[in-house]
Structure 1
């Protein structure tokens, strides 16, 4: 049998033949120009076919074509739904509802208009219908994304945020009330619901959060938070003045009240919080709950750097509330308030909301709440705001006139005694302790003392401070004009400056100038006589004080509410008038001098305090003599 061997020559021949075939195919292939031409013909044919298909679809869509289109659409929807399920789990259902768009629903009454977005289910616009800003723009507390309300929870090992999910809206009526329910669904019977209910003529609306049928969907063993954030819009002419009274206040632990710092950044973690107010001076955004939040992280950041910078926002507020589901379900009944920071409105709700206003602590707040606010409310009910301020000031000064009479009487007695006091100082000029002893003895027998003049002045301080806190927060003064002032809640302007003066501003206000002049005249009348006496060591420089107070008023009150400056102007003019009446028609220095001389003849019994002081001074005198020996 013939043996088969590998033929190398045959292999080489096959390789050469294969190479020749490849070369021939390459040489016979289309050129680049031919390829481009064929491509153009193919595209033209495709366009013709597309036009023909469109025409056929418009005239005669067959059942087969419709079925194919439906099948393709279902395939795309299935893919999208699968992707949504991978990202949101059971809550992917909300992304397939007709509400899964950025549509909004408006709920409103005659004072308030609220816009609620399907995405997130929260209020994206809150407009006060009856109020405008200093430049005549409607007051918006919420607008253009300055606020958010986000429910953060865990579902199927995913951390979800409600602000990214779509709620289904339903608007209805409950009597005269408008009701809007927003449901974040996993099915038709399982959902998280936000419910808003707005009554006629009310800035307070009902707000509740509840869940249904989500016991096996939402992991309640993991923390759930309601995160509310808001940047406060500027509404006033002076942003620094408005910002001074913009502050986060809150109620916690069975009725205690507190607030965050009005400057810089501040935060606090509080327990059992029942309400919080993101106050913007004359307007408030509040959240109140019937079930206290177990823990709330409150934050505030000052956004105002300088009056010269045209800043849009005043403060950045935040409140992150820990929620406590019960039985696997959420159930929180709450309220929201978007409206004026007005004491009477707050008081009518009977929920301690007046504590959200800066009316002063202790006795100062008490005077405001029970005397000044009711009295001014009565007067402004039938008088223009400026006239109401003047009448209020007159009534208060008349009520305090007996105190002022005692103060001036004490000053008159000290004036009568001045020659004798000067003689004591001259006689014992080398012994300060003896001067004090003899001075006290003379004042005691004469029934005159500087302390008696100071006490009446101290009694007036609570009223003056209460008024100082009242006028900047009086909503009734907002945008009320008087004389040249177009808004008594802001500064008045008689001249604009082409530059900015630190602490003073870029304008000139007339009311502070007039008030400064009145204060200067008053201090001249009260301190002029004291300045005639020799300046005693350790005593304040009266001349310096006489110029300091008017200067302080002139500079720092240039940016304050003109209503406050009007009060100080009126108050000091009335005080000057009362002093002139007392001096010229009531008090007689000759009679006072005769009365003092008569008192000197009568034995004067020292009270316990005077005896103690005399004993202490006597002991000090003896120790001084012993030390010299």
Structure 2
């Protein structure tokens, strides 16, 4: 048999063929530019088909639902959205709900409020006042489907179905699987109302929604700046919410805060004078609440104050969603909020405890009565101040009368202190002073109690004026807005510490209020000196402390009230002027020290029956005195 030999020529031939094939493949592959052109062509083809579908859905006579084989766009939508693929066929658009006080623009995309305009108010710089605009808010329901998809309603398109029921405007926004299967947001606006009826419900989706996966509602809003002082507005901006049993709580206004609560009835994104409040009839089982301060520094011109968010799971009933809610988007007006009988009036911070009671029972009704026939709000504040000072004047009289009595007794009390010097006589000295005051019918507390009784009124009004929307953008004298500071001079240079505490402006009403309180405290100091007992050994010098207070209080008012509502500074200025006037009238025209002295001498001459309390007090002092004497004897031994 012939032996086979390896043929090198054949090997070289195969190598050349392979080389030629590789060279041909390399030289004929598309360039990057050609690849990009091909991809662009494919994209344009898809967009063209999508536009064809959108054009068809915009025609009233054309069926909006695509069939599975109609276009590549539907195939892609079906891959992404599954049962909700029909939403890809809905054309983006918007619907307007509007009455005399509120205008809402509802977007097809997400079915949520795209714009919310409060019509009867404007911003500090006279622009339309929007609560929602330019994507500062979102409302989303995150849900899972039985085909293992997780969808966000904010990314899907709802079909708008507007209608009317009498004078009420109704808008049904439906995210459809079919005409009989959908998720619906239903809005109903009534004439001249800030409160909107809002319903979230599903129809026929029990087999579509994955009940084993948590459905979560996520509501977010970044609060626009509306007021002159963003720093002051930010201090008044906070999240309120009501828990079971009408228990009102809130997140800290001082900075970032969050909370996880259960059984929440409503949540309010409360700004200084305006709020967005979501109310649920059956409540939210749990709620994750968050407040984040966007405004950080006055040197930066911030558009927003705080960002709020609510996250809460929604529960199914027989496989369906069914939540009847209300949405309040409007002013923090106490008279408007209290008529809804949902306790949302509590978003207005009128003070806690007795301070809130005084505001709700006294100052709110009186202020509303006065504004019924007086148009100038500066005059209303002055008249309200006069009413308050007249009502409080008997307490001022009591305080001054007690001061006059203590002034008459002072020489006798000094004589007792001079006669019974030393720490060893402290108990006896105090006992004789108290006996003298009891005989004369004088009590040191009679001067303090009237002053203490005035404090609740002081703190109540401290909360009333900054919360009163009626004085917002109402001018008086040089102040163009009684709810904001009354700057008469401003500067742009940032001065460390000064700018952060005082601000970059000079307000005049706080200066006038500081001057008035200085003279008031000077007169009060003179009055207190009459009431003060001679300084005891080892006791602090009260006179020095009172002098420090006389200077400290006006300075504190001057600094901190520079950024506060000028209506509040106007009240304190007028109030202190009136108090000084009343004190001068009482001192010079009503009280007669000679008559008071004669009356006290008669009182001292009368036999005084010792009260049980006084008897127990004297016995305790005697016992303490005897113990001190025994201790001294033991030390000498």
TM-score by length of 1: 0.87
Q: 1:446 to 1:89 in 2, by over 3 A?
A: same
Instruction: Return the offset for 1:309.
Output: 2.6
What secondary structure, in the 3-state scheme, does the structure 2 residue paired with 1:494 have?
strand
1:608 aligns with 2:599: no
1:104 aligns with 2:94: yes
1:490 aligns with 2:510: no
Corresponding residue of 1:292: 283
Instruction: Return the offset for 1:289.
Output: 1.2
Instruction: Return the offset for 1:327.
Output: 0.9
Q: Is there any run of 5+ residues in structure 1 with no aligned partner, and where?
A: 33-72
Q: What does 1:156-175 align with in structure 2 at a 5 Å threshold?
A: 156=146, 157-175=148-166
Paired positions, count: 584
What secondary structure, in the 3-state scheme, does the structure 1 residue paired with 2:228 have?
coil
The C-alpha deviation readout for 1:345-394, integer Å capped at 9, x for no partner, is 10111211111111111111111111101110111222110000000111
Instruction: Return the offset for 1:122.
Output: 0.8
Instruction: Return the offset for 1:434.
Output: 2.3
Say whether the 8 Å CA contact 1:246–1:315 is kept in structure 2. yes
Among 397, 401, 419, the alignment partner of 1:405 is 397
- Whole-Å Cα distance in 2 between the matches of residues 471 and 13 of structure 1? 106
Corresponding residue of 1:440: 434
What secondary structure, in the 3-state scheme, does the structure 2 residue paired with 1:220 have?
coil
Corresponding residue of 1:465: 459
Among 542, 549, 552, the alignment partner of 1:548 is 552
The C-alpha deviation readout for 1:93-119, integer Å capped at 9, x for no partner, is 211x233x3x22221111111111111
Instruction: Return the offset for 1:576.
Output: 0.9
Instruction: Return the offset for 1:254.
Output: 2.3
The C-alpha deviation readout for 1:422-475, integer Å capped at 9, x for no partner, is 112211221222222122111111111220111111111111111110000000
Q: 1:98 to 1:529 in 2, by over 3 A?
A: closer
Q: 1:588 to 1:21 in 2, by over 3 A?
A: closer
Say whether the 8 Å CA contact 1:275–1:286 is kept in structure 2. yes
Q: 1:548 to 1:609 in 2, by over 3 A?
A: farther
Q: 1:189 to 1:618 in 2, by over 3 A?
A: same
Say whether the 8 Å CA contact 2:473–2:483 is kept in structure 1. yes
Q: 1:173 to 1:428 in 2, by over 3 A?
A: same
Say whether the 8 Å CA contact 1:238–1:559 is kept in structure 2. yes
- Whole-Å Cα distance in 1 between the matches of residues 17 and 467 of structure 2? 99
1:452 aligns with 2:446: yes
The C-alpha deviation readout for 1:73-106, integer Å capped at 9, x for no partner, is 99995443333223222112211x233x3x2222
Say whether the 8 Å CA contact 2:145–2:210 is kept in structure 1. yes
Corresponding residue of 1:255: 246
- CA-based RMSD of the aligned residues comes to 2.9
- Whole-Å Cα distance in 2 between the matches of residues 414 and 16 of structure 1? 130
Corresponding residue of 1:392: 384
Q: 1:601 to 1:189 in 2, by over 3 A?
A: same
1:94 aligns with 2:87: yes
Corresponding residue of 2:522: 524
The C-alpha deviation readout for 1:470-515, integer Å capped at 9, x for no partner, is 0000000000000000000000011123444141111111111111
What secondary structure, in the 3-state scheme, does the structure 2 residue paired with 1:448 have?
coil
What secondary structure, in the 3-state scheme, does the structure 1 residue paired with 2:308 have?
strand
- Whole-Å Cα distance in 2 between the matches of residues 433 and 302 of structure 1? 57
Instruction: Return the offset for 1:323.
Output: 1.5
- Whole-Å Cα distance in 1 between the matches of residues 457 and 508 of structure 2? 25
- Whole-Å Cα distance in 2 between the matches of residues 561 and 610 of structure 1? 48
Q: 1:265 to 1:6 in 2, by over 3 A?
A: same
- Whole-Å Cα distance in 2 between the matches of residues 16 and 301 of structure 1? 76
TM-score by length of 2: 0.86
- Whole-Å Cα distance in 1 between the matches of residues 17 and 359 of structure 2? 108
Q: 1:329 to 1:601 in 2, by over 3 A?
A: same
Q: Which has the larger radius of gyration?
A: 1
Corresponding residue of 1:118: 108
Q: 1:8 to 1:221 in 2, by over 3 A?
A: closer
Q: 1:330 to 1:75 in 2, by over 3 A?
A: closer
Among 563, 582, 602, the alignment partner of 1:598 is 602
Corresponding residue of 1:54: none
Corresponding residue of 2:60: none
Among 208, 215, 218, the alignment partner of 1:217 is 208
What secondary structure, in the 3-state scheme, does the structure 2 residue paired with 1:337 have?
strand
Q: What does 1:143-162 align with in structure 2 at a 5 Å threshold?
A: 143-156=133-146, 157-162=148-153
Among 76, 81, 106, the alignment partner of 2:74 is 81
- Whole-Å Cα distance in 1 between the matches of residues 19 and 332 of structure 2? 92
Say whether the 8 Å CA contact 2:90–2:158 is kept in structure 1. no
Say whether the 8 Å CA contact 1:238–1:307 is kept in structure 2. no
More moved, 312-321 vs 495-504: 495-504
Q: 1:608 to 1:505 in 2, by over 3 A?
A: farther
Say whether the 8 Å CA contact 2:90–2:157 is kept in structure 1. no
Q: What does 1:242-321 align with in structure 2 at a 5 Å threshold?
A: 242-321=233-312
Q: 1:155 to 1:539 in 2, by over 3 A?
A: farther
More moved, 76-85 vs 181-190: 76-85
Say whether the 8 Å CA contact 1:119–1:167 is kept in structure 2. yes
What secondary structure, in the 3-state scheme, does the structure 2 residue paired with 1:209 have?
strand
Corresponding residue of 2:584: 580
Instruction: Return the offset for 1:16.
Output: 8.7
Corresponding residue of 2:122: 132
Corresponding residue of 2:569: 565
Instruction: Return the offset for 1:294.
Output: 1.2
